[in-house]
Structures are given as structure tokens and as C-alpha cells.
Amino acid sequence: MCLAVPMRVVAINGNEAEVEQSGTKLQVRIDLVEDVKVGDYVLVHAGFAIQKLDEEEAIETLRLLEMFSVNLFGSSVSINKAE
């Protein structure tokens, strides 16, 4: 099963960005997505940003992931809403 997760861009350095969600920070490649800016939400899979998301769509996706976590594992994952 593949899973892509919405994450917020907190810094950009060339073709890489630092992204964050729920206190987890990752370095990802942003070559596949045009015009990425700090503050944008991107969908992250296998170390790559694969799509930009608007904030509403990102938060809704995170809410659904949290709901699935509760149903599958009996507990919630930590999901920060927009800060």
C-alpha cells in the first residue's frame, strides 16, 4: 500500500524543501511540483513532493487520516491543524 501525506513547507533550499507535520520534519525533493513556496502544503510520497494542495484540502485529508488511524489502531495519530 502506498500513502502520500500532506505536509507544510517550512523552508526551501534549491530543489529541496523542509516540510513538517505533527512535529515531524523531513527533507523532500520539490522538482516535480512547480512554484512551491514556504507555507504551501504539498503531498509527500517517498521523499518527493508530488502535488500542491490548498490548505482546506490538506486539513481535510489530515482529518481523514486521523479518523482512519482511530478506526484501524484504536488511537489517534497526532495531527496539527494549520498553524
Annotated domain spans of the chain? 5-73
pTM above 0.75, yes or no: yes
Determine the length of the chain. Answer: 83
Residue-level pLDDT at 77 = 58
Residue-level pLDDT at 47 = 97
Residue-level pLDDT at 41 = 98
Does residue 70 sit in helix, strand or coil?
A: helix
Residue 64 has phi, psi (to 5 degrees) of -65, -40
CATH architecture assigned to 5-73: Roll (2.30)
Q: List beta partners, residue 66.
A: none
Q: Which of 33, 32, 40, 34 minimizes the C-alpha distance to 11?
A: 40
Tens digits of pLDDT across the chain (83 residues): 688 999 999 999 999 999 999 899 999 999 999 999 999 999 999 999 999 999 999 999 999 988 887 777 776 656 555 44
Residue-level pLDDT at 83 = 44
